[in-house]
């Protein structure tokens, strides 16, 4: 309903996502406060894949929740395709780590939840569901209940469900964090494939440096207290990884070098946090 909008709402770049001077301050009951985010600005073009990495407490999940519209920032704004974001909306789909599927529905009903809510006729949504389940490789599991599937399969359903709604931006909050290493590798390839095929703008939050390097066309390293952008990279590995073996990408000399650099960066941040906690203790 806000999409398109009237002329007064048109701010910033016309296509793509713009995060402008975002700050988030939580007031605690004891009178103190936590600065979860401080002055975070970022522009994403349509079709870019951004991975966000950082030690715990750097505000990356807060950032994602603000973009999704679950939290209102204390300062700054989010502008998507020229209009300001207020609250959650189907234009910004979200994939969670786990527990976001509806156990009382079959795989098919989960995937067509978005179209159903919009009132799309079943005949129309059936086509979308069939296509997406084909893409994520679950065509044989359409009638199964989601609790009958493995963790990896459930995340495939979550991806398909998000795509079925055809959002402009896909927000992924550690979508592969609960999976085992092998499944995770397969799912990383799937995410890359879906990204290239659909051309969606994706923000992916992860704890894994490898995942951030492999999937992120752009990579954001965030620092804690207050949560802020520490460094940004533009990486070639996501493009290399599309349709290729991710293990080969990992052997690229640049990959190893960047990986070491980022690991050191995060290591130092963690050390600093530890030091500060010990001082205050």
User: Which positions from 138 through 197 interact with another protein, judged by CB under 8 A?
Assistant: 145, 147, 161-162, 165, 167, 171
Judge whether 66 and 78 are in contact, CB under 8 Å: yes
Q: Which tokens in the block code for residue 140?
A: 């044989």
Q: Work out whether 89 is an interface residue with another protein (CB under 8 A).
A: yes
Calpha distance 185→188 (Å, rounded): 5
CB of 243 to another protein, least distance (A): 29
Shorter beta-carbon distance to another protein: residue 133 or 246: 133
Angle, helix 122-136 to helix 151-164, in steps of 10 degrees: 140
Q: Please tell me the total number of residues recorded for the chain in this structure.
A: 281
Strand residue runs (E) in 101-165: none
Shorter beta-carbon distance to another protein: residue 160 or 209: 160
Of the candidates 72, 104, 263, 274, which one interacts with another protein according to CB under 8 A? 104
Q: Work out whether 92 is an interface residue with another protein (CB under 8 A).
A: yes
Of the candidates 68, 132, 190, 222, which one interacts with another protein according to CB under 8 A? 68
Judge whether 84 and 5 are in contact, CB under 8 Å: no
User: Which positions from 228 through 247 interact with another protein, judged by CB under 8 A?
Assistant: none
Residue 49: which of 241, 196, 197 has the closest Cα?
196
Taking the CB of residue 68, how many other CB atoms lie within 10 A of it? 20
Q: Work out whether 4 is an interface residue with another protein (CB under 8 A).
A: no
Instruction: Kindly indicate which of the ranges 7-15, 29-37, 38-46, 95-103 contains the residues binding another protein, using the contact rule CB under 8 A.
Output: 95-103
Contacts to another protein by CB under 8 A: 68-70, 87-90, 92-94, 96, 98-104, 113-114, 117-118, 145, 147, 161-162, 165, 167, 171
């Amino acid at each position: 309903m806000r999409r398109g909008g009237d002329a007064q709402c048109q701010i910033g770049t016309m296509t793509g996502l713009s995060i402008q001077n975002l700050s988030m301050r939580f007031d605690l009951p004891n009178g103190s406060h936590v600065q979860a985010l401080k002055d975070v600005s970022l522009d994403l073009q349509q079709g870019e894949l951004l991975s966000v990495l950082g030690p715990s407490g750097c505000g990356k999940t807060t950032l994602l929740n603000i973009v999704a519209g679950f939290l209102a920032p204390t300062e700054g704004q989010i502008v998507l395709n020229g209009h300001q974001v207020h609250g959650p909306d189907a234009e910004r789909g979200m994939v969670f780590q786990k527990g976001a599927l509806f156990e009382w529905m079959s795989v098919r009903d989960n995937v067509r939840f978005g179209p159903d809510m919009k009132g799309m006729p079943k005949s129309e949504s059936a086509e979308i569901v069939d296509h997406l389940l084909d893409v994520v490789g679950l065509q044989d599991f359409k009638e199964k209940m989601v609790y009958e599937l493995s963790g990896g399969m459930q995340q495939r359903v979550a991806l398909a469900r998000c795509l079925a709604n055809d959002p402009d931006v896909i927000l992924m909050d550690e979508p592969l964090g609960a999976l085992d290493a092998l499944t995770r590798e397969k799912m990383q390839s799937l995410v890359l494939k879906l990204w290239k095929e659909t051309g969606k703008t994706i923000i992916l939050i992860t704890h894994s440096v490898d995942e951030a390097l492999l999937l992120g066309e752009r990579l954001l390293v965030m620092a804690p207290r207050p949560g802020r952008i520490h460094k940004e990279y533009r990486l070639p590995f996501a493009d290399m990884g599309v349709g290729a073996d991710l293990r080969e990408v990992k052997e690229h000399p640049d990959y190893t070098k960047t990986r070491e650099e980022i690991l050191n960066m995060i290591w130092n941040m963690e050390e600093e946090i530890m030091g500060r906690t010990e001082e205050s203790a």
